Amino acid sequence: MSSHIILPPEDDDEQSHQGEEDEEETSVRRGPHDQTAAAAKAALPFSASCVRISRDSYPNLRALRNASSVSLADAAYVKISEGDFGYVLDDVPHLTDYLPDIPTYPNPLQDHPAYSTVKQYFVDEDDTVPQKVVVQKNSRRGVHFRRAGPRQRIYFESDEVKACIVTCGGLCPGLNTVIRELVCGLSHMYNVSKIYGIQSSKTFQNGYKGFYSSNYLPLTPNSVNDIHKRGGTVLGTSRGGHDTKKIVDNIQDRGINQVYIIGGDGTQKGAYEIFKEIRKRGLKVSVAGVPKTIDNDIAIIDKSFGFDTAVEEAQRAIDSAHVEACSAENGIGLVKLMGRYSGFIAMYATLASRDVDCCLIPESPFYMDGEGGLLEYIERRLKENKHMVIVVAEGAGQDLIAKSIATSAQQDASGNKLLLDIGLWLTHKIKDYFKSKKMEMTIKYIDPTYMIRAIPSNASDNVYCTLLAHSAIHGAMAGYSFTVGMVNGRHTFIPFYRVTSTRNKVRITDRMWARLLSSTNQPSFLSQKDIDEASEADRLANRPPLPTVVSHRAANSFEQSASSSANGEI
């Protein structure tokens, strides 16, 4: 059995690189194209040819498999296109990959009064966005993603579209805005009238579980007109409950042909499984994922919607903690913020506030006792300033709690490890320390977690949500299945496996974390060994899962893009 990889046609320029590619050429055998393959090639949305690579022929297959989380079973869904000077397109699946003869239609936007006057409104099929923007003069062009936006030809007629929208996982500012803009965008831009929310009013099943119900919620621009002013999600949400075959059965039975899925990395994994089952059945259905995580820990993308709102609201909690701390003798304000695996909210809220004396995040280990420990630093800071503000992400210090308290590894319905309350644990530890020192101290513990999750999105996030929703609509109408996201300031279509294979984390060896340490004047709590381990962890975490069929040149481009993936850190 063979896997497929999309490669560009060879040209005369490649002859100059023949010496370094001998090993590749011995492992790649080009077979004759049959009529089906020729039709698929003609219908592909970019200029490419199919290359068949035997799983047993690639010399480094085992090494690539070991370094990759993309299984051989998933290789058929991965599309890699190579070009000159180390250019690699990590492409997204398209309907024509398995339905080569489906017709196309002119985009109705070309006659839309609001859009027809915009010059070059439609995106060129060859437009791509680089994953890495900081390069040297001899750098390879690196990994690119397909640029989002409206296409001149689409694969769905307006009256045949039957779209559904589902929200999964925890709450996040902006969910209602995304729902609103999906409904209004489909209706106003593409004249779609059959739009449904996945929600059961009878069984109160939401999220993926809502697919199992017998009734959906019809959505119109009028029904969603002002929902962006409210927090939460009007469709409801839930964790878990993902049964791929039951969900696709429901999609098929109801004639749904566009599925918009809003949720975090676990939800996007579910979207990927839904797409694979849809493709196996040969259904004409596009799956568009809109990544949602208040922690900003989705890989590849610049940021997730709701993050700016969360930082803004978190800063208000820090301001309150600062007032409490300043108003008491040796006052300490302790604020716990969201951040199970990534401390972005804590870091950015700290930098925005400038009133924080110590910020603790999951990526940066710390210790409590002894010289240079947290307790010693708190004591010194109180003697100097008479008050102190500490910000801690919920996932920080879990190893310290586990050492002092017997814990069991429990998980929620999404498979996330249930965390112990680091804020409460720190509060008791600090009180006990100063009691042993016979030193007066007052500590106020503030946990604004659910207040932050439940608020409406701010102006910046509202605009961002609109652009994400519109990009998702344009991609689905053009026949792609993908996760949408902003990469280096440009909206792109990203393969599902890229956003679910790893997490975005604060890099404590980068300048942004150094700026925080300079702002708070806190010790780093890190030994040289910790720094070396963090650097290696960053390198491995940012390395994308290499498809088992990727060429040696493409692998080098993936590695180069991974070597400097923190483009947002200036």
Is 32 inside a domain boundary? Answer: no
* pLDDT band, residue 39 (cuts 50/70/90): very low
Give which of 197, 191, 113 is closest to 157, Cα–Cα. Answer: 191
Structure tokens at 194: 């059959």
Question: Tell me: the pLDDT tens digits for 328-374?
Answer: 999 999 999 999 999 999 999 999 999 999 999 999 999 999 888 99
Full DSSP string of 26-71: HH--PPPP-HHHHHHHHHSSSS-EEEEEETTT-TTHHHHHHT-S--
SS3 395: coil
Is 17 inside a domain boundary? Answer: no
pLDDT at residue 419, as a whole number: 84
pLDDT at residue 392, as a whole number: 98
Question: Tell me: the pLDDT tens digits for 399-425?
Answer: 899 887 766 566 665 556 678 899 999
Structure tokens at 21: 């590619």
Is 31 inside a domain boundary? Answer: no
Element (H, E) at 504: none
Same domain, 428 and 467: no
Same domain, 262 and 376: no
What mean pLDDT do residues 530-550 have? 63
pTM exceeds 0.85:
no
Tell me how far apart the alpha carbons of residues 527 and 570 are, in angstroms, rounded to a whole number. Answer: 25
Residue where one domain finishes, among candidates 470, 500, 530: 500
- Domain coverage including residue 435: 307-406+416-455+507-541
Same domain, 338 and 245: no
Mean pLDDT of the chain: 83
Tell me how far apart the alpha carbons of residues 182 and 471 are, in angstroms, rounded to a whole number. Answer: 10
- Residue whose entry in the numeric block shows the structure tokens 């694979």: 276
pLDDT at residue 405, as a whole number: 75
Percent of the chain residues past pLDDT 70, beyond the cut = 77
Is 354 inside a domain boundary? Answer: yes
CATH number at residue 199: 3.40.50.450
Is 75 inside a domain boundary? Answer: yes
Worst-scoring range by mean pLDDT, 13-27, 114-128, 304-318? Answer: 13-27
Question: Tell me: the pLDDT tens digits for 472-518?
Answer: 999 999 999 999 999 999 999 999 999 988 889 999 888 999 999 99
Is 106 inside a domain boundary? Answer: yes
Tell me how far apart the alpha carbons of residues 454 and 476 are, in angstroms, rounded to a whole number. Answer: 29
Is 224 inside a domain boundary? Answer: yes
Tell me how far apart the alpha carbons of residues 503 and 513 are, in angstroms, rounded to a whole number. Answer: 18
Residue 544: pLDDT over 70: no
- Of the residues 91, 295, 297, 355, only one is catalytic, namely 295
Give which of 369, 346, 340 is closest to 429, Cα–Cα. Answer: 369
Same domain, 386 and 519: yes
Give which of 357, 372, 368, 365 is closest to 436, Cα–Cα. Answer: 368
Same domain, 121 and 148: yes
pLDDT at residue 26, as a whole number: 41
Question: Tell me: the pLDDT tens digits for 153-205?
Answer: 999 999 999 999 999 999 999 999 999 999 999 999 999 999 999 986 555 67
Residue 156 CB partners (closer than 8 Å, separation 6+): 105, 257, 258, 286, 476, 477, 479
pLDDT at residue 278, as a whole number: 97
Residue 130 near residue 139, CB atoms below 8 Å: no
Specify the long-range contacts of residues 445-449, CB closer than 8 Å, at least 24 apart. Answer: 445/334, 445/336, 446/317, 446/320, 446/321, 446/324, 446/333, 446/334, 446/335, 446/336, 447/335, 447/336, 447/421, 447/423, 448/313, 448/314, 448/316, 448/317, 448/335, 448/337, 449/336, 449/337, 449/338, 449/394
Residue 152 near residue 107, CB atoms below 8 Å: yes
Q: What is the distance in angstroms between the CA of the first residue and the CA of the last residue of the chain?
A: 46
Taken in order 92, 97, 102, 103, the sign of the CA dihedral is positive
Tell me how far apart the alpha carbons of residues 352 and 358 are, in angstroms, rounded to a whole number. Answer: 14
Tell me how far apart the alpha carbons of residues 511 and 205 are, in angstroms, rounded to a whole number. Answer: 45
Is 13 inside a domain boundary? Answer: no
Same domain, 514 and 478: no
Question: Tell me: the pLDDT tens digits for 195-205?
Answer: 999 986 555 67
What mean pLDDT do residues 111-138 have? 86
Same domain, 72 and 170: yes
* pLDDT band, residue 214 (cuts 50/70/90): confident
Residue 494 near residue 484, CB atoms below 8 Å: yes
* 84 is an active site residue: no
Same domain, 337 and 480: no
pLDDT at residue 541, as a whole number: 59
Length of the chain: 570
- For 106-152, the three-class secondary structure string (H helix, E strand, C coil) is ECHHHHCCCCCCCCCCCCCCCCEEECCCCCCCCCCCEEEEEECCCCC
Same domain, 204 and 111: yes
Same domain, 172 and 234: yes
How many domains is the chain partitioned into structurally?
A: 2
Same domain, 449 and 493: no
Residue 32: pLDDT over 50: no
CATH number at residue 402: 3.40.50.460
Same domain, 195 and 335: no
Phi, psi of 163 (to 5 degrees): -105, 150
Give which of 401, 435, 342, 396 is closest to 525, Cα–Cα. Answer: 396
pLDDT at residue 14, as a whole number: 40
pLDDT at residue 542, as a whole number: 58
pLDDT at residue 513, as a whole number: 94
